[in-house]
């Protein structure tokens, strides 16, 4: 089940794009965080989403909110993705899938008649104590970062 308003995020530690292990709770800003899950580095939709969050990262920071992106891609993939697009927020490498499972975003998906397991593009607005304030699932990237910023403000 995907986490909903009122749920607590899991207590997990996973590596960031620099290979440093990070606790999700340590990444919460003064007022919380936007934690977004995306399927894959350097794909069109994921690149748009990352660039939009980067473009608005100063606005989130002004609200005391950190931005954190999570996918199952490797640390090396995240490093390349962040460097290529100038991403200054944290990307977490959830290779083991613990965060995806903990947030409930690892689900069965269907595409072109094929059924497979994958990350359902989802975003969670979390307060400074790790409680989900709002969640978005099956996210369409266009305008999404702006909608999250509006909800955070």
> Annotated catalytic, 100?
no
Q: Would you state the torsion angle of the CA atoms of residues 96, 120, 45, 95, taken in this order, to the nearest 10 degrees? A: 0
Tens-digit pLDDT profile for residues 98-148? 999 999 999 999 889 999 999 999 999 999 999 999 999 999 999 999 999
Task: Give the pLDDT score at 40.
Answer: 96
**Distance in angstroms (rounded) separating the CA atoms of residues 39 and 138:** 11
CA gyration radius for the chain? Answer: 14
Residue at token pair 């307060």: 127
**Distance in angstroms (rounded) separating the CA atoms of residues 110 and 80:** 29
Task: Give the pLDDT score at 90.
Answer: 98
- List the structure tokens of 112: 């072109």
In CATH, the number for domain 13-152 is 3.40.30.10
Tens-digit pLDDT profile for residues 47-103? 999 999 999 999 999 999 999 999 999 999 999 999 999 999 999 999 999 999 999
Please say whether the beta carbons of 152 and 61 come within 8 A: no
Residue ranges of domains in the chain = 13-152
Please say whether the beta carbons of 138 and 15 come within 8 A: no
Catalytic residue among 12, 46, 149, 152: 46
Task: Give the pLDDT score at 111.
Answer: 86
Say whether pTM exceeds 0.75: yes
Tens-digit pLDDT profile for residues 19-29? 999 999 999 99
**Distance in angstroms (rounded) separating the CA atoms of residues 139 and 52:** 13
Task: Give the pLDDT score at 128.
Answer: 97
């Amino acid at each position: 089940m995907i986490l909903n308003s009122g749920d607590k995020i899991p207590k997990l530690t996973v590596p960031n794009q620099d290979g440093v292990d990070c606790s999700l709770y340590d990444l919460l800003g003064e007022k919380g965080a936007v934690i977004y899950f995306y399927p894959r580095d350097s794909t069109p939709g994921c690149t748009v989403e990352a660039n939009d969050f980067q473009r608005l990262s100063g606005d989130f920071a002004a609200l005391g909110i950190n931005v954190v992106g999570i996918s199952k891609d490797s640390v090396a993939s995240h490093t390349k993705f962040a460097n290529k697009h100038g991403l200054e927020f944290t990307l977490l490498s959830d290779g083991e899938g613990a965060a995806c499972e903990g947030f409930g975003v690892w689900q069965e998906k269907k595409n072109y008649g094929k059924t497979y397991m994958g990350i359902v593009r989802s975003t969670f607005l979390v307060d400074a104590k790790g409680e989900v304030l709002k969640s978005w699932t099956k996210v369409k990237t266009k305008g999404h970062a702006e909608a999250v910023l509006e909800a955070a403000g």
